[in-house]
Amino acid sequence: MGHRCNYVSRRNGELQLIYSHWGALTVPRDFFWGLAAAEEFLDEHQPCDDSHWLDDVFGEGGAALDHDNKVLTIDGGEIYGHARDLLFELMRAVWARDGYSVRDAESFVDIATAVGLPASTVEAEHIPAEPIDVTDDACVGRDDGYFDTLVVVDGVIRFCAARKCVLELGPARVGELASLPDLAEAKQLSATRPPPSWESERRSMRERLLDAIVIDTRERRVDASLYELSRGTSRRHYQERWPGYQVTRVTLDDALGRLGHPDLPPSPPAPVPSIEDQLGEIEQYLFGTRSDPIDLMTVLIQQYPGGVVNPHAMVSPVDGRPDNGPHANALFREVLSEVLAKR
pLDDT tens, 66-102?
999 999 999 999 999 999 999 999 999 999 999 999 9
Indicate whether 194 pLDDT > 80: yes
Question: How far is Cα 254 from Cα 224, in angstroms, rounded to an integer?
Answer: 10
Per-residue buried b or exposed e for 112-148, using 16+ beta carbons within 10 Å of the residue's own CB? bbbbebeeeebbbebeeeebbebeeeebbbbeebbbe
Q: How many CA atoms lie within 13 A of 241 on its CB side?
A: 23
User: Which has more pLDDT, 56 or 163?
Assistant: 56
For residues 209-232, average pLDDT: 96
pLDDT at res. 211: 97
Last residue of a domain, one of 217, 239, 259: 259
- 156 with 241, same domain: the answer is yes
Last residue of a domain, one of 215, 238, 259: 259
- pLDDT band at residue 172, thresholds of 50, 70 and 90? very high
Last residue of a domain, one of 259, 280, 312: 259
Structural domain that includes position 66: 5-114+289-341
- 73 with 9, same domain: the answer is yes
- 157 with 98, same domain: the answer is no
Question: How far is Cα 121 from Cα 54, in angstroms, rounded to an integer?
Answer: 9
pLDDT at res. 178: 97
Any domain includes 283: no
- pLDDT band at residue 138, thresholds of 50, 70 and 90? very high
CB atoms within 10 A of CB 195: 15
Query: What is the pTM (predicted TM-score) of this model?
Result: 0.89
Q: What percent of the chain has pLDDT over 90?
A: 85
- 195 with 230, same domain: the answer is yes
CA angle at 238 for the pair 257 and 224, rounded to the nearest 5°: 10
pLDDT in tens, 27-52: 999 999 999 999 999 999 999 999 99
pLDDT at res. 312: 86
- pLDDT band at residue 295, thresholds of 50, 70 and 90? confident
- 181 with 241, same domain: the answer is yes
- 3-state SS track over the chain: CCCCEEEEEEECCEEEEEEECCCHHHHHHHHCCCHHHHHHHHHCCCEECHHHCCCCCCCCCEEEEECCCCEEEEECCCCCHHHHHHHHHHHHHHHHCCCCEEEECCCCHHHHHCCCCCHHHCCCCCCCCCCCCCCCHHHHCCCCCCCCEEEEECCEEEEECCHHHHHCCCHHHHHHHHHCCEHHHHHHHHHHCCCCCCCCCCCCHHHHCCEEEEEECCCCEEEECCHHHHCHHHHHHHHHHCCCCEEEECCHHHHHHHHCCCCCCCCCCCCCCCHHHHHHHHHHHHHCCCCCHHHHHHHHHHHCCCCCCCHHHHCCCCCCCCCCHHHHHHHHHHHHHHHHHCC
pLDDT at res. 163: 80
pLDDT at res. 336: 97
pLDDT at res. 294: 87
Question: How far is Cα 133 from Cα 234, in angstroms, rounded to an integer?
Answer: 21
Any domain includes 101: yes
pLDDT in tens, 297-323: 888 888 888 777 788 888 889 999 999
Number of domains making up the chain: 2
pLDDT at res. 248: 97
pLDDT in tens, 113-129: 999 999 999 999 999 99
Any domain includes 328: yes
- 79 with 169, same domain: the answer is no
Any domain includes 266: no
71-75, strands of its sheet edge to edge: 47-48, 14-20, 5-11, 62-66, 71-75, 101-104
Any domain includes 127: no
As a whole number, the mean pLDDT across the chain is: 95
Residue 140 near residue 134, CB atoms below 8 Å: yes
- 29 with 71, same domain: the answer is yes
Q: Which residues lie closer than 8 Å to 45 by C-beta, 6 or more apart?
A: 7, 18, 20, 318
Any domain includes 131: no
pLDDT at res. 299: 85
pLDDT at res. 274: 96
- pLDDT band at residue 165, thresholds of 50, 70 and 90? very high
- 153 with 250, same domain: the answer is yes
Give the phi and the psi of residue 51 in degrees, each rounded to 5. Answer: -70, -15
- 249 with 319, same domain: the answer is no
Q: Which of 237, 235, 229 is nearest to 212 (CA)?
A: 229
- 181 with 225, same domain: the answer is yes
For residues 230-256, average pLDDT: 96
Residue 75 near residue 42, CB atoms below 8 Å: no
- 107 with 17, same domain: the answer is yes
7-11, 51-55, 141-145, 297-301: which has the minimum mean pLDDT?
297-301
pLDDT at res. 2: 86
Question: How far is Cα 321 from Cα 242, in angstroms, rounded to an integer?
Answer: 48
Any domain includes 132: no
- 85 with 168, same domain: the answer is no
pLDDT at res. 296: 84
pLDDT at res. 216: 98
Any domain includes 126: no
